[in-house]
Structure formats: C-alpha cells, structure tokens
Amino acid sequence: MFEALTGAGLAASSGLNAYIPLLTMGLMARYTDLINLPSGWQWLSDGWVIGILAVLLAVEVVADKVPVVDHVNDIVQTVVRPTAGGLAFGAGSASETVTVSDPGSFFSSHQWVPVAAGIIIALGVHGVKAASRPVINASTAGVGAPVASTAEDVSSIVLSILAILLPILVLLAFVLLISSTIWVFRRRRARV
C-alpha cells in the first residue's frame, strides 16, 4: 500500500511540475539510501539524466512564472506531465515496467497499471492547474502568475519528499488538494 501511495504522490507532483519528482527520486537514489530504485529505473540516478532534468526544471520554472508564456508552457506540458507522472508512479511504486521486450506480455501481466494510474493522476492535477492559471492571470492582471507558480513548485517539492519519506501523508495532501480545488471553483462560480 505504501508503494501505491508513494507512486500516487509522485504522479500528483508531476501534474504540478513534471521534473521535480523525477529529479527528487534521481537525487535521493544517487546520494542517499532513502530510496532504492528498481533495476529498470536506475537510469533516473545517472548523472547525465539528473543534469538534463535540472536544466528542464530550470526552463519550466522560468517559463511558468511569465503570464501568457505559462499558458503556452501548460499546453506543451499536457503531454510531458502525464508522461512524467506515469514514470514517477512506475518508479516510485517499485514497478519494473520500463524495459518492455514483449508488448503482449506487458499488457497481459498488468505491469502497465502503475504507469497508467500515474498518467491519469498527473493528467488530472495538470488539468486543474492549467484550467485555473488563466483565471489567476486574468483576475490579477498577470501579477498572480509568479505567485501561483511558486506555490505549485513548492507544493510539488513537498509532495515529492512526502511521497518518498512519509507516504501515508500523501492521503492528507490529496484531501487538501481536492478541498482547495473545490474551494477555488466554488469561489469562481460565486463571482460569475
């Protein structure tokens, strides 16, 4: 069960920022004993992969702080974040789904389930983020973009670390995430 919570937390974190959970797992696997990646996921702790993820994270962090550019970034990330969510769930739940030699056996053995779950979770979180950002930009004349983006980045970092170190708290994070989403949409409807 803890593996599923870890995977779900990392996938949700990917929906906010695609690279933070992957980079967190890679760094923790490389420099600590807090996470042991399965053999099929060891590539996440490779120095080159960590470097590439750090560069991609820097680009996304900057792009997500600028109004209008953040919207273009969200469009591009509609493919990237769910993919990262699938990877994060698969690696975080100790699934050996990265090396697929026979697609038929991959689907019949249900190894695809953690990856699909991660994709769905990340896509859902990304959808809420992408839908709320234009509202934040419009209602604050763009001033809210960096504030919202920073809050999302911090949330992604905290959720990634919690998912790895204290996966039971992922349930609390999900309750808070769902509650805040409902509150934002209710508040939005009340203004309209």
Q: HSE (CB half, 13 Å, CA atoms) of 21?
A: 38
2: confidence class by pLDDT, cuts 50, 70, 90: confident
pLDDT exceeds cutoff 70 at 141: yes
Q: HSE (CB half, 13 Å, CA atoms) of 97?
A: 24
**Secondary structure (H, E, C), 121-167:** HHHHHHHHHHHHHHHHHHHHCCCHHHHHHHHHHHHHHHHHHHHHHCC
What pTM was estimated for this model as a whole?
A: 0.81
Number of Cβ within a 10 Å radius of residue 142: 14
Q: What is the residue extent of each domain of the chain?
A: 2-191
